[in-house]
Amino acid sequence: MSNDLDELWEQFETAVYETRIQLFQQALDHPDIDGEWAFEMLNELYEQAAANQERDRFDGLVNDLRTKVPAAYATEAGYMLEWLITNALVNGRSQALPDLVQELAEYTADVPEIIVNVADQLAYYGQLAPLVTLCNLAWPHIQSSPDIDEWVIEEFAVHATNYIILHYLETAVSPTATDPDLQAQLDHYVEFEADALAEHMAQITGQETRTWNSSDFATPKGYHDTEIPESVERNVTHLLRTFVHHLQTEKDIPTSRAGLAYWPLAELLFAHIEDQLTSYQPKQKQKGPYRKTAVSSPLLPVPNLLDQFLESMSDLISPQYYRAAALVNVLPAWLDFLTMQGVVSTEQSAQMHKQYAAVIGQLQQQWHQEGADPALAASLRVWKA
């Protein structure tokens, strides 16, 4: 920064909101302004604009930067566009999303973490069409970048294909697993076997139904491995897909939010089941049968695990707030669903609801402080009922 910019920044730090806006606009005319400097000012103004219900005004400041100092804007465009997309979602301006998503995709290689976060955000808000567009436009950059970890690429592909399937099921007149247009879209990411795709679509649309018993999710007698039995994994996956359909049809949850919630809930359940398997311990100084410590239902993760899981998704370095919000938003429905399916008792469900509520209550203050997007705090309202 030049001396003039240093002085301006000192004024900015202690100024009130309106004065800060004026100082930012003055800074745009300074010959030494760069992207980092503009970002620091806008980062401060973003939270204040949100608190003052002036998101549109903030968008105008970003557009001023884009117009007057395009080079500075370009260096921080990923962050700027994330703000603009959030503002559009909060203010209900869905018509702005296609252009914003298309521009954001151009910066995928520079800010892959923003792409993932915005994809989750669009899913939470039920914006399935722009979400699929973002995935398709960003995928070539994600796939070819040498700086993105392989597991990130694989996870992105899995999520993208599932959103494509959900969007197809929502928009196709006569959806079928053999539709060549659907196959062509999916082939960009992974190869789907026809039978597996047909099964996936049948389960997630509620067409493949069955009566469940708690024994369908129990570890087979005499099973001593620490790997989840294939039959249990297959049954849990089927039940979760049926739950996605239940959320859409019975709870009026947007299709993409139900799809987003599937992933953290599946990860939580399988982590819980793995913990149960490791609770089998051989009797001391004895061969043969294993004994098992007291555990809950495989479909009811223990509160401590939920607490750890939510904490990991709130990590400051790479937070997954929208996945966490989707999870806590559907957990009460999950408990009711399990009772309705007859795989847990009403008493078990009520007991876990109380214990989960105690864990989730800790998010209230944290997410209210994340005032940039009120949807996070709103996701917790189902726990006040």
188 and 128 in a common domain: yes
Domain termination residue (choose one: 155, 178, 208): 208
Q: Does the residue 16 lie in any domain?
A: no
218 and 175 in a common domain: no
Q: Does the residue 154 lie in any domain?
A: yes
Domain that holds residue 383: 212-281+291-385
pLDDT reading at 385 higher than 60: no
Separation between Cα atoms, residue 44 and residue 57, nearest integer Å: 14
Mind listing the pLDDT tens digit for each residue in 341-373?
999 999 999 999 999 999 998 887 777 766 689
299 and 364 in a common domain: yes
176 and 296 in a common domain: no
Domain termination residue (choose one: 208, 230, 249): 208
201 and 216 in a common domain: no
Provide mean pLDDT across the span 324-344.
Answer: 97
Separation between Cα atoms, residue 58 and residue 88, nearest integer Å: 11
Number of domains the chain is built from: 2
Q: Does the residue 59 lie in any domain?
A: no
Q: Does the residue 221 lie in any domain?
A: yes
Q: Does the residue 347 lie in any domain?
A: yes
Task: Check residue 52 and give its pLDDT.
Answer: 94
363 and 238 in a common domain: yes
Task: Please list, in sequence order, all residues whose beta carbon lies within 8 angstroms of the beta carbon of residue 110, skipping any fewer than 6 positions away.
Answer: 78
Give the model's confidence band at 24: pLDDT under 50 very low, under 70 low, under 90 confident, else very high.
very high
183 and 129 in a common domain: yes
Domain termination residue (choose one: 208, 240, 255): 208
C-alpha of 79 from chain center: 18
Cβ proximity of 108 and 100 under 8 Å: no
271 and 192 in a common domain: no
176 and 146 in a common domain: yes
143 and 219 in a common domain: no
Query: Among 2-16, 27-41, 113-127, whose mean pLDDT is lowest?
Result: 2-16
Give the number of other Cβ atoms within 10 Å of residue 36's Cβ.
11
Q: Does the residue 374 lie in any domain?
A: yes
Task: Please list, in sequence order, all residues whose beta carbon lies within 8 angstroms of the beta carbon of residue 367, skipping any fewer than 6 positions away.
Answer: 321, 325, 376, 377, 379, 380
Residue predicted with more confidence, 3 or 38: 38
Mind listing the pLDDT tens digit for each residue in 274-324?
998 887 544 444 444 434 434 479 999 999 999 999 999 988 778 899 999
184 and 162 in a common domain: yes
Q: Does the residue 63 lie in any domain?
A: no
Q: Does the residue 71 lie in any domain?
A: no
Structure token digits, residue 238: 């089927």
216 and 168 in a common domain: no
